[in-house]
Amino acid sequence: MLDSVFLTCPFCGERFEALVDASGGEADYIEDCPVCCRPISLHLRTGSDGGFEGLDADRDE
């Protein structure tokens, strides 16, 4: 199941929407900002029930 989340790019500060899939458990991946195209490191957190809990976004440097 895809969840819609809003993120703020740690580079340009623009807010954008992303879709995340929590069905595979916790995950780390890279997504490019749709505005400035810089790579954002994302850490998907899931709860004990396997559902979406949160998403951490940091600069991928």
Q: What percent of the chain has pLDDT over 90?
A: 51
Structure tokens at 44: 């998907």
Annotate 10-22 with DSSP letters as a single string: TTT--EEEEEEEG
> What pLDDT, on a 0 to 100 scale, did the predictor assign at position 54?
87
Count of beta carbons in the 10 Å neighbourhood of residue 30: 9
Say if pTM beats, i.e. exceeds, 0.85. no
